[in-house]
Amino acid sequence: MQKIFILNNMKVEGVCNIPLLGIEFLPQTVDLRHYDALLFTSKNAIYSLNSFDKTWKTIPSYAIANKTKIVIEKEGGIVNFVGKSGHGDDFAQELKSILKNKKVLYIRAKKVVSNLVQILQDNNIDIDELVTYQTKCNVCEKKIDIPKNSVIIFSSPSTIKCFFSQYTWDISYKAIVIGKTTASYLPESIPYIVSPTQSIEDCIQTAKKYT
């Protein structure tokens, strides 16, 4: 029987979960009063910052996509700008003129794959980075059976790392990836389909076409 798997706890009808990816918050000491703009490229950056410093809510936030915007507003923040592409490098290109003459703080994971900071620095944006969380692989006490012909969604390089640390790829599986950067972390022998946009919802819709 064909099934669609996502490698997190997101509950979607008709989709199976393998909760391989966990998040660990990394509290920091920082004086946010020095900054005119906060950059967020994930909801985990918002939740992790909010866990140890509530003053961020008074500083204009710049969100990579609408889903990030929704979380910022839900947590009480102020959104000044929402990116269109959902990709870190493209987000930087969108911001390079908007952030001129601002002191910027990028709240991020311990490991990132985009060149957002370098692009902004190359365009003379005064930007600092604050690492507030890291992803980690959860060890499944009991492996979930993945039937032949299943479709597996990879939403980040970390999901690829965690999956292949515990599972073996079957030639009958189909891989859906959220973007080309994530795709580059797959073993070269595995064919894949790239989602039309960088959202889990579109990954799922793409996966349904192959089940």
Spell out the per-residue pLDDT of the chain, length 211, in tens. Answer: 569 999 988 888 889 999 998 899 999 999 999 999 999 999 999 999 999 999 999 999 999 999 899 999 999 999 999 999 888 899 999 999 999 999 999 999 999 888 999 999 999 999 999 999 999 998 877 888 999 999 999 998 999 999 999 999 999 999 999 988 899 999 999 999 999 988 888 999 999 988 7
How many domains does the chain divide into? Answer: 2
Three-state SS for 52? coil
Answer whether 48's CB lies under 8 Å from 108's CB: no
Q: What is the CATH number of the domain that holds 38?
A: 3.40.50.10090
> How far is residue 93's CA from residue 91's CA, in Å, rounded to a whole number?
5
Q: Do 31 and 127 lie in a common domain?
A: yes
Write the CB contacts of 172 (distance below 8 Å, at least 6 apart in sequence): 148, 149, 150
Answer whether 204's CB lies under 8 Å from 12's CB: yes
Owning domain of residue 69: 24-135
Q: Do 195 and 119 lie in a common domain?
A: no
Q: Do 58 and 100 lie in a common domain?
A: yes
> How far is residue 124's CA from residue 25's CA, in Å, rounded to a whole number?
30
Q: Do 130 and 63 lie in a common domain?
A: yes
pTM: 0.81
End position of a domain, from candidates 135, 157, 184: 135
Q: Do 124 and 54 lie in a common domain?
A: yes
Q: Do 85 and 144 lie in a common domain?
A: no
CA distances from 175 to 78, 113, 138, 186 (A): 37, 20, 21, 9
